[in-house]
């Protein structure tokens, strides 16, 4: 396996998905803006989408891949028995959860959006929409099971491409939105659940080569399956701590009008980089790292860990600087159309600025957590994540009345840096990670190249200042041009100072 190539494959389809997601969000911003309809839909969409990220973006892998990989070594028959036992229990558990939540949906929405309680119309709308979108959770969690099997066999393309289906369906709904009127949010919600079903079918087609599904209603669990489920919840919580913090932020933000929407649009931007710098790398390294740990190949383990950390910083640091420098221009150029006014741009860009400060930490959490998961340890990152979430809640609630919604991205970034530093400390303490000799030299070079890129990107934004103004209709083209030029500048600098070398692409791990 090659980390760079595999990350590139995963990242390519992820970028396609995120770009389509961006097009989807532009259309949502134009037609819904940041008003009541938008807030209600984003709450309804946030819940299944958060679970999608918790399960699909590497967190289900955290518990499943190491256990499944150990069974694959013993043969296909053993791995099939283990996988079928997990699937059947997962299916029944998710079905029960979905039915219960659907029955008690008003109470559920009151918990996830307590700020809506005083507004009867908004609360009723959010409840109806969440009822429609919630089955997506059932489909996407099962789809994530299939993705984890594919990832265990170092097949990353199909799993990374599956989310494209959701964006295509929602874009089609939005294209025909003129004829839907106020019913648009309902059709979007139906589209969410329909997309979950199609993703499940899509992934099953690819996974059938490696796994034979045998459905059974018998509740049986071997010791290995019990061990897996024992790791699952801590794994989901610890690997998905960023998404949990954002979900908590959504709950708190519901007390301020339009705040849910501001956070949603800001979240969409930095998630594009996080998908590659953190999620893709974490997903890609886990199967191979787990196998090397079982085989006690210390040289390979050290090489994979250091290369993963280096690649994560190589991707996240320049993105962080660019988002901090150009947060307002980025939000304006991407979403500043139609119902998305200047006030919406200012508030969303402020949220993006503070989220960007935590971007490297978000990525490091994914990478560091994978080092624990490969060692079948989900408890340590779980306890660290729990402390991080408590810190996030404390900061958000304590300062919300004074600062408003902007405290949410600030608290998320602070708690994420705290989380990543604790993960690193415990990795060193448990002797699960060591720096190799090359890492620090590469790190200094990456920081230097990122700073130079930031200076150049700032120059471009000033140079195209008039073209990037809020009232310009083609401002997005100038943002894309500035981004491409900034990226090329960064890659050229990295090439000449050897922060990144071509033989990294060819090197196998």
Separation CA 498–CA 475 (nearest Å): 34
Residue 424: band (very low, low, confident or very high) from pLDDT cuts 50, 70, 90: very high
How far CA 422 is from CA of 314, 381, 386, in Å, comes to 22, 9, 12
How far CA 49 is from CA of 107, 139, 262, in Å, comes to 19, 12, 17
Record the tokens describing residue 195, joined without a space: 């997309």
- CA-atom Rg of the chain in angstroms: 22
Ranking 84-98, 179-193, 421-435 by mean pLDDT, the lowest is 179-193
Separation CA 33–CA 88 (nearest Å): 42
Contact assessment for residue 238 and residue 385, using Cβ atoms and an 8 Å cutoff: yes
User: Is pLDDT larger for residue 294 or for residue 401?
Assistant: 401
* Residue of 267, 256, 234, 288 lying closest to 118 (CA atoms): 256
Number of separate domains in the chain:
1
Separation CA 170–CA 385 (nearest Å): 33
Separation CA 278–CA 7 (nearest Å): 10
Separation CA 152–CA 149 (nearest Å): 5
Record the tokens describing residue 170, joined without a space: 């929602």
Print the domain residue range for 204: 3-506
Separation CA 30–CA 473 (nearest Å): 13
Separation CA 273–CA 30 (nearest Å): 24
Record the tokens describing residue 12, joined without a space: 């390519």
- For the chain, the 3-state helix, strand and coil shares in percent, each to the nearest 5, are 80, 0, 20
Residue 4: band (very low, low, confident or very high) from pLDDT cuts 50, 70, 90: low
Write out pLDDT tens, residues 431-489: 888 888 888 999 999 999 999 999 999 999 999 999 999 888 889 899 999 999 999 99
Write out pLDDT tens, residues 287-335: 777 777 777 788 888 888 888 888 889 989 999 999 999 999 999 988 8
**Mean of the per-residue pLDDT values for the chain?**
83
DSSP one-letter string for 66-112: HHHHHHHTT-HHHHHHHHHHHHHHHHHHHHHHHHHHHHTHHHHHHHH
Separation CA 485–CA 467 (nearest Å): 16
The confidence score (pLDDT) of residue 329 equals: 94
Sign of CA dihedral 185, 327, 389, 371: positive
Task: Tally helices (H) and strands (E) across the chain.
Answer: 22, 0
Model-level pTM? 0.76
The residues, any chain, with a CB within 8 Å of residue 469's CB and separated by 6 or more, are 475
Separation CA 7–CA 277 (nearest Å): 9
Write out pLDDT tens, residues 235-278: 676 666 666 777 777 778 777 777 877 888 888 787 777 766 66
**Would you tell me the crossing angle of helices 298-335 and 3-32 to the nearest 10 degrees?**
20
The confidence score (pLDDT) of residue 12 equals: 81
Burial class (CB in 10 A: 0-12, 13-18, 19+), 485: middle
Write out pLDDT tens, residues 41-76: 877 887 777 666 666 555 676 677 777 877 777 777
Write out pLDDT tens, residues 337-364: 777 788 888 999 999 999 999 999 988 9
The confidence score (pLDDT) of residue 14 equals: 78
Record the tokens describing residue 262, joined without a space: 């501001």
The confidence score (pLDDT) of residue 118 equals: 76
Separation CA 143–CA 337 (nearest Å): 35
């Amino acid at each position: 396996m090659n980390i760079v190539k595999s990350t590139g494959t995963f990242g390519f389809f992820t970028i396609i998905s995120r770009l389509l997601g961006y097009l989807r969000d532009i259309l949502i911003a134009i037609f819904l803006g940041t008003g009541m309809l938008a807030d209600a839909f984003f709450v309804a969409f946030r819940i299944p989408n958060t679970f999608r990220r918790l399960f699909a973006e590497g967190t289900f892998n955290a518990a499943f891949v190491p256990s499944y990989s150990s069974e694959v070594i013993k043969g296909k028959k053993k791995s099939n028995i283990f996988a079928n036992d997990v699937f059947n229990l997962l299916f029944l558990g998710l079905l029960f959860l979905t039915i219960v939540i659907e029955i008690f949906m008003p109470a559920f929405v009151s918990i996830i959006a307590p700020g809506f309680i005083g507004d009867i119309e908004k609360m009723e709308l959010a409840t109806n929409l969440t009822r429609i979108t919630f089955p997506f959770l059932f489909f996407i969690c099962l789809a994530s099971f299939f993705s984890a099997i594919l990832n265990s066999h170092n097949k990353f393309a199909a799993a990374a491409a599956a989310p494209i289906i959701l964006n295509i369906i929602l874009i089609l709904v939005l294209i025909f939105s003129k004829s839907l009127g106020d019913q648009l949010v309902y059709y979007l919600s139906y589209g969410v659940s329909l997309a979950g079903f199609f993703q499940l079918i899509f992934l099953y087609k690819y996974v059938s080569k490696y796994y034979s599904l045998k459905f059974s209603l018998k509740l049986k669990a071997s010791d290995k399956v019990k061990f897996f489920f024992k790791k699952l919840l801590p794994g989901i919580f610890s690997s998905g701590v960023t998404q949990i913090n954002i979900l908590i932020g959504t709950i708190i933000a519901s007390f301020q009008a339009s705040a849910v929407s501001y956070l949603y649009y800001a979240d969409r931007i930095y998630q594009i980089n996080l998908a590659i710098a953190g999620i893709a790398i974490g997903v890609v390294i886990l199967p191979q790292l787990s196998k090397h740990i079982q085989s006690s190949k210390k040289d390979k383990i050290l090489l994979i860990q250091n290369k993963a950390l280096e690649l994560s910083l190589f991707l996240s640091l320049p993105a962080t600087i660019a988002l901090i420098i150009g947060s307002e221009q980025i939000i304006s150029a991407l979403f500043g159309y139609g119902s998305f006014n200047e006030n919406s741009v200012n508030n969303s860009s402020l949220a993006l600025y503070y989220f960007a400060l935590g971007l490297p930490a978000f990525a490091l959490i994914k990478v560091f957590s994978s080092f624990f998961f490969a060692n079948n340890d989900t408890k340590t990152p779980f306890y660290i994540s729990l402390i991080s979430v408590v810190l996030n809640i404390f900061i958000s609630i304590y300062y919300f009345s004074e600062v408003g919604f902007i405290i949410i991205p600030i608290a998320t970034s602070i708690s994420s840096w705290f989380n990543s530093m604790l993960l690193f400390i415990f990795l060193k303490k448990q002797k699960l990670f060591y720096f190799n000799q090359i890492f620090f030299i590469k790190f200094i070079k990456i920081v230097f190249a990122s700073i130079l890129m930031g200076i150049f990107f700032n120059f471009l934004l000033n140079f195209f200042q008039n073209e990037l103004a809020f009232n310009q209709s083609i401002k997005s083209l100038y943002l894309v041009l500035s981004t491409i030029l900034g990226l090329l500048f960064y890659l050229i600098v990295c090439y000449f100072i050897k922060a990144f070398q071509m033989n990294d692409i060819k090197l196998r791990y």
